[in-house]
């Protein structure tokens, strides 16, 4: 399930090249370039073409995983809107409400399992 979540969200960026994202400390979720090496060279960011982003959640992590997923999706939608781009799944297909609900349910089950394992 963790691999499925980590590959779930991609944003196609056909026109923008000036992306900068930073989350100090323990991140709620991560953002990487779709192209190798996946990182951002901040000294050359203005002239770097960024064809797409991969936004992913690593489990376990700090905080409620369902809240982190919801915040990740909110951020992905805001970026797609702002950048006039499209959210895609791990196969490059358009993101669907059904896919989002399925992943969210998987994360809820993951949280329940973690609580059972911890005796909560």
Domain ranges of the chain: 2-118
**This prediction's pTM:** 0.74
| CA-CA-CA-CA torsion sign (25, 108, 10, 95) | negative
pLDDT reported for residue 8: 40
Q: Tokens at residue 68, please?
A: 């982190």
- Residue 81: pLDDT above 80? yes
pLDDT-based confidence at 36, cuts 50/70/90?
confident
pLDDT-based confidence at 24, cuts 50/70/90?
low
**More confident of the two residues 44 and 117:** 117
Please, are residues 11 and 86 in contact by the beta-carbon 8 Å criterion? yes
Please, are residues 90 and 8 in contact by the beta-carbon 8 Å criterion? yes
Q: Under CATH, what is the fold of the domain 2-118?
A: Cell Division Protein Zipa; Chain: A, (3.30.1400)
């Amino acid at each position: 399930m963790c691999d499925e979540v980590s590959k779930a969200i991609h944003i196609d960026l056909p026109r923008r090249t000036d992306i900068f994202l930073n989350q100090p400390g323990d991140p709620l979720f991560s953002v990487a370039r779709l192209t190798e090496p996946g990182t951002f060279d901040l000294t050359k960011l203005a002239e770097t073409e960024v064809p797409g982003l991969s936004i992913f959640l690593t489990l376990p992590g700090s905080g409620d995983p369902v809240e982190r997923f919801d915040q990740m999706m909110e951020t992905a939608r805001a970026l797609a809107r702002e950048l006039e781009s499209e959210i895609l799944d791990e196969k490059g297909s358009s993101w669907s409400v059904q896919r989002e609900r399925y992943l969210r349910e998987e994360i809820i089950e993951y949280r329940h399992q973690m609580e059972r394992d911890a005796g909560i």
